[in-house]
Structure 1
Amino acid sequence: MQEKNFSNYQAWIETKLELIDRVRKRKKIICWKYIRTITFLSVLSGLLCFIFEQKKYSNAWVSAVVIATFPNFFSLMIFFSMLPGFLKGTYIRKINKAMQHQGFSETQREQFAKEQMTAQQNPSHCVPLDLLLLGTVDERIPALFTISEHFACLTGGEKFGPFIVRLDAAEFIHVTSITVCAPTHWGPPAHVEKIPIYSIHFMGHGKEQGRIEIGDAKSRDKALGILCQRFSEETDRSCYLLDLHIAKQQFIKSMVGILILILSCIYVLFIFSFFH
């Protein structure tokens, strides 16, 4: 009896395995790409330091080793931070956790799974996306956005989700954006590009019923293409206050980022002064 009750939910998870494999593969490619770049630049910096400093200092090799090895700690940090994203079990746990967060009963979970599978077979209710990896300009991770009778769901991307919004109380949608900065390339002359990241807010009864972070403008337009068939996009007083709240959050995050950058520069200057 239990196997029958969970048949739709299990079948829906099976439909997500292909997306999970694509996300895992893409994250591995991105991870090794950055690790190779950091390792190459750190070894090259250490070699150049040794060549130019060996005539001035007898222990130039110490500075060279420090400069060559220190950036690789960032490589280890990147690897271990992304390691859970390489494991298939991580995504299954994310899906189960999302179901628990929604507080679905067994019947509601079955209904959600059945609706999502039906929506995935209808191009007007389902759209594949390539979500931008935050902090980059062109690194993207596959995702899938679906809208059914009672739910909107985004699965995939950097955090994977699934991110679920109940649509019973939603009356219209409102789009907001924040601006993030990402380097277009490494090394001098450094160039940083400002990229808007969009969120879709489902509004109803004078308050937000849920939100989904949808990514860049291209992903936003694809999602709105299926959402606007059912909801109108509006702006009112509550949405204006929502924009102010998001702007405040963006300002706080920017200040934290600037503080971290200042502390990093102080640390690098301390390392160079210690060896010179």
Structure 2
Amino acid sequence: MLVAAMALEQSRIEATPPADVSELGIFGGLALLAVLDAGADPGFRHLRAHPGFGARLAPHRALRHLILSTLLKAGVLAPIASRERLDDAIRDAPWAEDASLEDADWLVVWDERGRGTLPDQLHVYLNTFESTSRTCEVILQTWQTLGTAECLAFGEYALAAHNLNPALARPSAAALSTILSQHSIGQGCALMWSAAKHVASWFMRNGVKATGAAEREFINSICGNSDRARYGERSIAQFSRHSSVPISTFARTFMRASMLEDDFWTSPLSEEALIEARLPKRG
């Protein structure tokens, strides 16, 4: 009976059309490859918990949540310890607040025949997808999302370094989309550092103020310095990546797929920069 059941299951697997990673789309493909790089076992079947060490999936918790929820909704990841409905799994997952990928075990739900070569399939897809107006739009949106996450993570670090609440940086996310169309991610991080210094001085002058005042001071600082640089009144330094905010697997995967390389960090975010990155390099 057992042999017959195993043979039936093998026949079912062989009769099922192979999964195609292109169905995930560019963002989904980037997300899955980054997740595998962040903690998959050799068979690419499980993502095992290893709290306190290992590669970061994404620069900031908001992007980490987007990556994981995208893969959960696509049916690519599933919580190992839970068989509840998907909505409940997303709501109750260990990463709902400040936890990271390493705080939970995940099951990689993928075609049995193709799972062993899943990273290779993803690399081929992300290296060969057709450049169209739609794919360029997705890549640009992903760059913007990553840039915002990079700046928020550094802003939280800068505030903590000045003995301030890191959460003060989070409301600035809405302003960063415009700023990063004019300045690079490295310059965005410089703006976050200046804003943290400004808010620290503001607290020393004014003491504790009403809720929201410090957040406004932080946002006004990054926007004001950005505008002054835009109109030639002041230049903005180009910060290098800080050792306290190491590169994430999602950023590394994106840099390869977009072909931006160092321009990911040093160039203002634009469609022109993406097109230039994909042109043949001159020898």
Q: Same fold (TM over 0.5)?
A: no
- Considering fraction of residues, name the structure with more helix: 2
- Considering fraction of residues, name the structure with more strand: 1
Report the TM-score, using the length of structure 2 for normalisation: 0.20
Report the TM-score, using the length of structure 1 for normalisation: 0.20
- Kindly name which structure, 1 or 2, has the bigger radius of gyration based on alpha carbons: 1
Structure possessing the higher relative contact order (Cα contacts under 8 Å, 6 or more residues apart)? 2
